[in-house]
Amino acid sequence: MISLNSIIFNGMDATQIDVQVQLSSGLSKPEFNIIGLADRAVKESAERIRNVLSALNLSLPPKRLTVNLSPADVEKSGSHFDLPILCGILCAIGVLPETELEKYVIMGEVGLDGAIVKTDAVLPASVWANAHGLGLICPGDQGIQARWAGHTNIIAPFHVIQLINHFKGTQTLPVPELTTPESGQKNTIDMSDVHGQAAAKRALEIAAAGGHAMLMVGPPGAGKTMLASRLPTIMPEMTATEILETSTIYSIAGELTGRGLMSSRPFRSVHHTSSPVALAGGGSDARPGEISLAHNGVLFLDELPEFNRATLEILRQPMESGRILISRAKRNATYPARFQLIAAMNPCPCGHLGNAAMSCTRAPRCAEAYQNKISGPLLDRIDLHVDVDAVKPWEMNTDTTPRETSAEIRARVVAARDRQITRQGYVNAMLDGADLGQFAALSDELTNFLNTAAEKMGMSARGYNRIKRLARTIADLRGAENIEMSDLAEALSYRPINRGKYGVKL
């Protein structure tokens, strides 16, 4: 019996799969069976492999060919078992040397002509193989991706013939060369593209510095989407660990396109018609959803009230834990989901509330109904609420004042983040209760000031903590140890939507 290695992922967890191939005699014509809790894509392997063998002018001997994928209690899905099964058969008929092939983890889909085509999860498979002292055989296109895991024993053929020739010694395949991670992933947008909007830019800087979730409210065309998409450009560069984490999720989702890793922070803009599964992840193969693809980056929800309420409620748990648990029929899969939430909305359905020239006759009742579509608990988790007014087009044309670049803003963000990590080990957005008492202590004078403001504004205990968290970040951006009156006053200006300029509950 031939026994080769492949791999399958459940969430981020790898399971080694033993691909066993057994030829047994006693039949007059060949028979081919795949067993071991295989799904349809895996069962279809048999058909693809038969075609490849005839394309290679190889025919199966008139024997019973059984392929068993072990352990049998783990569901096998996907087409990446084509290659290990084919290799097993080629070993069984003496075309490939089993003693060599068994030193590798093998994955790849095979086309009818023998071409080895792209598959999911090559990056984490490479990490796993490296950690277990095994080489990796993967599709040619993904060799560089596999190299990024720090692995050097990689064979990345584009065609089965290349693989056979490699082990025959007639055409040795080189180890894929490492390219620079930046390739093709440079930021092409910059904060300096945005004219005016000083208040919104300042709020984005605070959001980036303290990791705070943010909601922008304003009329159509004010530049909310434009501003949000530039947030990743002012966030600190990803660390090597973050790059690997995020790239791993993309690899599992089959979204690691190109040859580089995800070296820029992800920005995931989710449409309001998205389903809960698209947002959280799931489906038959427990794919990561948008919140996991936004891990270490930004999750942008444009037109927030248009989202289905049940879809939005999904965000509550991962916003606190930084992970999402996807429940499936037989097993659960967990993915990281530490994202920064940025949401945008118009104040009312027509978007022109408060604009005497353009708002409709149903204001403010329609605005109230519109704003009430977002649940209180979700709003409570958003620290920064910002009103974004439109810049007048003629002001944009005549605006010649130099605008700060993302790099300049990022330098301040990085300094403020460093202070937080040194002081408490995590970003200010995660400060709560007792932590705030310790790390965001207020003088007696400031406590009195905040208490009075809280009473006047009818602030909840949660809202009170929100102000302290924001004031802490604002002080960190000043490089200051203690929170001062100016920090507190600015924090108070980021009032929740229903109490801000566009609020209808004032």
Residues making contact with Mg ion (CB under 5 A): 225
CB-based closest residue to Mg ion:
225
Distance CA 62, CA 277 (A): 46
Question: Can you tell me the distance from the alpha carbon of 94 to that of 60, in angstroms, rounded to the nearest whole number?
Answer: 12
Quickly count helices (H) and strands (E) in the chain. Answer: 22, 18
- Min dist CB 209 to ligand ATP, Å, is 22
Residue 20 phi/psi, 5° resolution? Answer: -100, 135
CA distance 263 to 145: 12
Can you tell me the distance from the alpha carbon of 161 to that of 210, in angstroms, rounded to the nearest whole number? Answer: 54
Between residues 95 and 226, which has the closer beta carbon with respect to ligand ATP? 226
Give the nearer residue to Mg ion in terms of CB position, either 112 or 358.
Answer: 358
What is the 8-class DSSP label of residue 268? E
Among Mg ion, ligand ATP, none, residue 369 binds (CB under 5-8 Å by kind): none
Q: Which of residues 184 and 221 has its CB atom nearest to ligand ATP in the complex?
A: 221
Give residues in contact with ligand ATP (CB under 6 A).
194-197, 218, 220-226, 344, 346, 391, 396
| Among Mg ion, ligand ATP, none, residue 222 binds (CB under 5-8 Å by kind) | ligand ATP
Nearer to ligand ATP, 270 or 344 (CB): 344
- For residue 342, the minimal CB distance to Mg ion (Å) is 11
**Residue 349 interacts with which of Mg ion, ligand ATP, none, CB < 5 to 8 Å by class:** none
CB of 192 to Mg ion, least distance (A): 20
The nearest distance, CB 218 to ligand ATP, in angstroms, is: 6
| CB 368 to ligand ATP: min, Å | 19
Choose from ligand ATP, Mg ion, none: what does 7 bind? Cβ within 5-8 Å by kind: none
Distance CA 500, CA 495 (A): 5
Q: CA 306 to CA 302: how far, in whole Å?
A: 9
Residue 34 β-bridge partners: 67
C-alpha radius of gyration, the chain, whole number: 28
| Token pair in block for residue 184 | 């093709």
Residue among 247, 320, 308 at smallest CA distance from 279: 308
User: b/e string for 108-138 if b means 16 or more Cβ within 10 A?
Assistant: bbbeeebbbbbbbbbbbbbbbbbeeebbbbb
Which of residues 374 and 483 has its CB atom nearest to ligand ATP in the complex? Answer: 374
CB 228 → ligand ATP: shortest distance, Å? 8
**Among 95, 73, 134, residue whose Cα is nearest residue 2:** 95
CB of 215 to Mg ion, least distance (A): 13
Closest chain position to ligand ATP (CB) = 223
Q: Closest CB to ligand ATP among 65 and 213?
A: 213
* Whole-number Å distance between alpha carbons of 476 and 415: 8
In the complex with ligand ATP, which residue's Cβ is closer, 163 or 222?
222
